[in-house]
Chain A
Amino acid sequence: MNHAATEMKEGAPAIAIRGLRKEFGSVTAVDGVDLDIANGEFFSMLGPSGSGKTTVLRMVAGFESPTAGTIQLGGTDVTKDPPFSRDVNTVFQDYALFPHMSVTQNVEYGLRVKRVPRAERRKRAQEALESVQLSQYGARRPGQLSGGQRQRVALARALVNRPRVLLLDEPLGALDLKLRREMQVELKQLQRDLGITFLFVTHDQEEALTMSDRIAVFNNGRIEQVATPRDLYELPATPFVAGFVGTSNVLDGEAATALLGEPGIFSVRPEKIQLHLDDPHLSDSATPHAVTAAGVVREVVYLGSATQSIVDLDLGGSLIVLRQNQQSPSEGDVAGRGARVHLSWLREHTVSVAPQPVG
C-alpha cells in the first residue's frame, strides 16, 4: 500500500477534481470537470447515459487515465496512481463478484491481498456481512444469491476495507423498484453511520434527490449544476437541469414575455400551479403576486395519488399541472379534455433558467 496516499491532509476535501478531461478517440466523454467533494458527504453524479458521469467515477477509481486534469484524494494527487494503490473502493454496476469464491472469500478479498492475518480478516468479513444482514450466507457462492443479496455482498466487500471514499456505479440499477427504494434508505443510513464519503453515480433523478447531500448534474461531459437536492429542484440553473430533474415545465418565447414581463427561459414546477375552471382574478382566490394564464386542457393523466393535466396556453406553449387527489373526484377530473381553464402560480415560483433570451 502507498502510505503517502492514505495520509490525510488537514482540511483537504475527500476528492478534488480539476480540469478533468477524457477523450476516447475522437469522442470527448468528459470535457473539463471541476469538483470538490467534502469528507463524509453523500455526493451524486446525475445525468443521462453517455453524459460522462461514469467515466469520471472510473477515473477516480483509476480504471481510466485522464487525457488532462488532476484528481486528488484527501489532498494527495493520485492522477497517475494505479487502482490498487488508491484508498477508494468501488461497488460495480454488475457487482463483479468473483463467481469462483464463496461470499466470505469475496468479502475478505481486499484484506487477503493486503496480507491481513486470516483470523482478523475472517472477523472483519463476518462483521461486514452482518452490517448488510447477510451473516448466514458466508458459505454460499454468488451464483446462489438473489440480485439484492449480491448487491449487499458487493457493498460489504468494498466497505470491509474501510476506504476513505466509496464509489458506487449505479449500484441499484439492476434491482426492482421496491427493493431499490429499500436499498436507498439502507445505503443512506449506512453512509451516515460510517461517515465515509460516497460518490454515487445514477441516471435516476429521484434516487439522487432522495439520497444525496449534493448532486452534480452532467450533460455532454460537462457539469450543468452542483447543488443540494432542494436547490436543484427549486432553483434549476439551466433548461437541461429544469428538464432532467423533476418534470419538465419550461416557458419561453412570447408566452414568457407576455406572462412574466421579460424575455428568457423560465421553469415552473407542475405542483406549484393551480388549476381553475374560472378566471381567478374574478374570484376571491386571486393573490396580487400571482401569474395567470388561460388555456385548454389537452390531456388528463390519472396517477393514483395525483392527477396530471397538460394545458395548451392561449399564448403558445404548454404547461403540466400536478394536483394531489385530495377529494374524489378532483377538479382535474372535472376539467376534462378540451375544457377551458385558467392557471395561476406565484411569481416567486418562476425560476429563470437562462437569463438571456436564447437564439
Chain B
Amino acid sequence: MTPSATMSPGFRIVLRTITCLALVVIYAPLMLVVINSFNASQTFAWPPTDLTLDWWRKAVDSQGARDAVQVSVEVAALATVVALVLGTMAAMALQRYRFFGRDAVSLLIILPIALPGIVTGIALNNAFRTVFGLELGFITIVIAHATFCIVTVFNNVLARLRRMGISLEEASADLGASTFTTFRLVTFPMMRSALLAGGLLAFALSFDEIIVTTFTAGAREQTLPIWIFNNLFRPNQAPVVNVVAVVLILLSIIPIWVSQKLAGASEGLAGR
C-alpha cells in the first residue's frame, strides 16, 4: 500500500491521530492485564509496588484452569473439524449446482453467526434436552459451536470457489481426470488456504464462545471462558485469571498472524 497522493497533509495527520487513539483504547487495557499478571498486590493496586511470578506459578498448578483449557481445545478442534467437512460440502453444493431454493439455503447457513447467542443458546438447550433427549455435556457443546463455526468455513470456501471459477475444473475433466481426481488434484489444493483461514477463524470463535456454551455445557463441563467468568470475582483466583488472559492474548496472535499471511498469499494467487 502506497500513501495516496490525493490526501492532503492535514487530513493525513488527522487520520494518524485517530488511528493512534484507537490503538491506545484497544491495547492499553490489554497491557494492564499483562502488567497485573505480575503485580504483587492481590487487589491490583495501581501502580504496582512490586512484581512477582507467584500468579504464574499458581496458574500452572491450577487444576481447574488446566482442565478448562483442555476442554476448550478439544471442543474447538472437534467443532472445527465438523465445520470444515460440512462447510466445504455446503459451499461446493451451493456454488457448483443450481437448484430450487438455493438462495434460501445459503441464507439459512449464514444466519447462525448473526443470531444473538442467547437465542441460539436457549433454542439448542431446549432442543437437546426435550426433543433429542441428550444430556448436556461435551457433545452438546461441540454441536452448538459447529452451528456457527460452519459459517466461517462456508464463507471462505464459497468466496474461493467463486473467484476460482469453473474453468480449472473443466480443464481437469477435459484432460481426463474423474470428478474425484479433479477434487484431489485441483479443487482441494486451490481451496487449501481458504480452508486453513476458515478453520482458524472457526477455532477462535469456538475457543472464546461463552453465551451459547453457558446454555449447552451442563453442570459438569467447563470451557475456559466459563472457568474465567466463574473465577473472576473470587478474590483468591482473580490473579490467576489475569495470567490465563495473558496466555490467551499470546495464543490469539498466532492464528491471526497465520491467516493474515495466508490472505496475502492468496491475493498473489488471484493476480494470475
Contacts and interface: CB of A to CB of B under 8 A. Distances in A.
A binds B: yes
Interface of A: 1, 61-63, 82-85, 88-90, 92, 94, 96-100, 109-110, 112-114, 142-143, 157-158, 161
Contact of A161 (B171, B175, B271): B175
Contacts of A112: 185
Given A82-B173, A114-B176, 16 more contacts: A1-B176, A62-B174, A63-B173, A84-B173, A84-B174, A88-B174, A89-B174, A90-B170, A92-B171, A94-B167, A98-B168, A109-B172, A110-B176, A113-B172, A113-B181, A143-B271
Interface of B: 165, 167-168, 170-178, 181, 185-186, 189-190, 268-269, 271-272
Given A63-B170, A83-B170, A96-B167, A110 B175 contact: yes
A94 B164 CA distance: 12
Contact of A61 (B174, B177, B185, B190): B174
Nearest to B178: A84
A114 B172 CA distance: 12
Contact of B174 (A83, A100, A114): A83
Nearest to B190: A100
Contacts of A96: 167-168, 170-171
A63 B175 CA distance: 12
Contacts of A97: 171, 272
Nearest to B271: A143
A112 B171 CA distance: 14
27 contacts: A83-B170, A83-B174, A84-B176, A84-B177, A84-B178, A89-B175, A90-B170, A90-B171, A90-B174, A92-B167, A92-B170, A96-B171, A97-B272, A98-B168, A98-B171, A99-B190, A99-B272, A100-B189, A100-B269, A109-B172, A110-B175, A112-B185, A113-B172, A113-B178, A113-B185, A143-B269, A158-B175
B170 A143 contact: no
A142 B177 CA distance: 20
Nearest to B167: A96
Q: Which of B167, B168, B176 has the most CB of A within 10 A?
A: B176
A117 B249 CA distance: 51
A94 B168 CA distance: 10
Contacts of B174: 61-63, 83-84, 88-90, 158
B177 A98 contact: no
A143 B272 contact: yes
Closest 10 CB pairs of A and B: A110-B175, A96-B171, A96-B167, A83-B173, A113-B177, A90-B174, A143-B272, A84-B173, A100-B189, A99-B272
A1 B181 CA distance: 14
